[in-house]
Structure 1
Amino acid sequence: MRRIPAELCVRCKGAKFLCGLTSCPILERFRAVTNAASKVRLDVGLLQGSTPPSVIVGEKGYPKVSLSFNVAPEVVGEQARLYEDPAGWWGRASLHDIINYRSSLVSNFSMYRINDVWKLYEREISLATISERPVLSESKVTGKLETKLKFDGIVMPRGPTIKADDIRVTENPKVPKILDRLINDDVKANDAVLTLYRGGEDVYRVVSALSTGLLGTLKNRKLVPTRWAITAVDSIVGDSLLKEVRDLPWVSETSVFFQGYLGNYFHIIIYPSSFFSTWVEIWYPTSLWAGELTITDLSEDYWGKYGTLDGGYMAARLAALEYLTKIRRSAGVMIIREVTGEYFAPVGNWHIRETVRRAFNNRLGSFQGLGEALDLVQGRLKDGRVKLREIRAIKRVLNQTRIDSFFDS
Structure 2
Amino acid sequence: MKYRFGKPKRRTQRSDNLWILDLLEDSSLVNELNDNRDIWTARQPQSGLCVVCKGSRMLCGKTRCPVMLRVNSFARSVPLIKTLNIFGASPPSVFVGRVGYPYVYAGPMVPPIHEDTSLYDLPELWFGKTIDEIVRFRSMLIRGKHRVHVRRFEEAGKILDVTRELALASRATDVELSLKKHPRGSIVLNADVQPFGPSAPIRDLRMSSARWDHQLEKVYYDTDLRAKSAVLEVYSRGVMVTKIQRAFSVGAFGVKPQRRLVPTRWSITAVDSMISKDLIERVKEFPLINEYRLYESSYLENQFEVLMMPDAWSYEAIEAWYPGTVWNPGGRRVVMFGDWEGYSGRSSYAEIGGCYYAARLAVCELLTKERRQASVVVLREARP
CA positional deviation for 1:227:
1.2
Q: Distance in 2 between matches of 1:120 and 1:315?
A: 34
CA positional deviation for 1:306:
6.1
1:25 counterpart (66, 71, 96): 66
* One-letter amino acid of the counterpart of residue 9, structure 1: K
1:32-82, CA deviations, whole angstroms, 9 ceiling, x for partnerless residues? Answer: 22332321243xx21111111111101111221101411111x1131x223
* One-letter amino acid of the counterpart of residue 106, structure 2: L
Q: Distance in 2 between matches of 1:307 and 1:217?
A: 25
Q: Please list, as runs of the form range in 1=range in 2, the aligned pairs for 1:18-167 lying within 5 A after superposition.
A: 21-42=62-83, 45-73=84-112, 75-78=113-116, 80-91=117-128, 93-114=129-150, 115-117=152-154, 119=157, 123-148=161-186, 157-167=195-205
1:180 counterpart (217, 230, 235): 217
| 1:49/1:68 CA distance change after superposition, 3 Å | same
**Conservation of the 8 A alpha-carbon contact between 1:66 and 1:109:** yes
Q: Distance in 1 between matches of 2:88 and 2:375?
A: 48
* One-letter amino acid of the counterpart of residue 237, structure 1: I
- Larger displacement relative to structure 2 (259-268 or 80-89): 80-89
**Conservation of the 8 A alpha-carbon contact between 1:117 and 1:212:** no
* One-letter amino acid of the counterpart of residue 300, structure 1: E
CA positional deviation for 1:308:
4.2
* One-letter amino acid of the counterpart of residue 254, structure 1: Y
**Conservation of the 8 A alpha-carbon contact between 1:247 and 1:274:** no
Secondary structure in structure 2 of the residue aligned to 1:77: coil
Q: Distance in 1 between matches of 2:344 and 2:137?
A: 41
Residue 42 (structure 2) pairs with residue 4 (structure 1)? no
**Conservation of the 8 A alpha-carbon contact between 2:215 and 2:237:** yes
| 1:88/1:282 CA distance change after superposition, 3 Å | same
| 1:99/1:128 CA distance change after superposition, 3 Å | same
| 1:230/1:295 CA distance change after superposition, 3 Å | same
Task: Provide the alpha-carbon RMSD of the alignment.
Answer: 2.6
* One-letter amino acid of the counterpart of residue 179, structure 1: L
1:200 counterpart (238, 244, 266): 238
Map of 2:229 onto structure 1: 191
Residue 352 (structure 2) pairs with residue 314 (structure 1)? no
Q: Distance in 2 between matches of 1:150 and 1:54?
A: 23
CA positional deviation for 1:296:
0.3
1:273-317, CA deviations, whole angstroms, 9 ceiling, x for partnerless residues? Answer: 111111110111112221331000111110111654221010000
Map of 1:285 onto structure 2: 323
Q: Distance in 2 between matches of 1:67 and 1:151?
A: 26
Secondary structure in structure 1 of the residue aligned to 2:183: strand
Q: Report percent identity of matched pairs.
A: 30
Q: Please list, as runs of the form range in 1=range in 2, the aligned pairs for 1:326-341 lying within 5 A after superposition.
A: 326-341=369-384
Q: Distance in 2 between matches of 1:18 and 1:38?
A: 32
CA positional deviation for 1:164:
1.2
Q: Distance in 2 between matches of 1:131 and 1:338?
A: 36
Q: Distance in 2 between matches of 1:106 and 1:282?
A: 34
Q: Distance in 2 between matches of 1:117 and 1:142?
A: 22
* One-letter amino acid of the counterpart of residue 58, structure 1: G
1:275 counterpart (291, 313, 317): 313
Unaligned runs of 5+ in 2: 1-43
Q: Distance in 2 between matches of 1:151 and 1:314?
A: 29
CA positional deviation for 1:28:
2.8
**Conservation of the 8 A alpha-carbon contact between 2:73 and 2:136:** yes
* One-letter amino acid of the counterpart of residue 49, structure 1: G
**Conservation of the 8 A alpha-carbon contact between 1:102 and 1:157:** yes
Q: For this pair of structures, how many residues does the alignment match?
A: 331
CA positional deviation for 1:215:
0.7
| 1:262/1:130 CA distance change after superposition, 3 Å | farther
Map of 2:6 onto structure 1: none
Map of 1:347 onto structure 2: none
CA positional deviation for 1:121:
8.4
* One-letter amino acid of the counterpart of residue 127, structure 2: W
Secondary structure in structure 2 of the residue aligned to 1:148: strand
Secondary structure in structure 2 of the residue aligned to 1:330: coil
Q: Distance in 2 between matches of 1:127 and 1:32?
A: 29
Secondary structure in structure 1 of the residue aligned to 2:54: helix
TM-score, length-scaled by structure 1: 0.75
TM-score, length-scaled by structure 2: 0.80
CA positional deviation for 1:334:
0.6
Q: Distance in 2 between matches of 1:122 and 1:72?
A: 19
**Conservation of the 8 A alpha-carbon contact between 1:150 and 1:159:** no
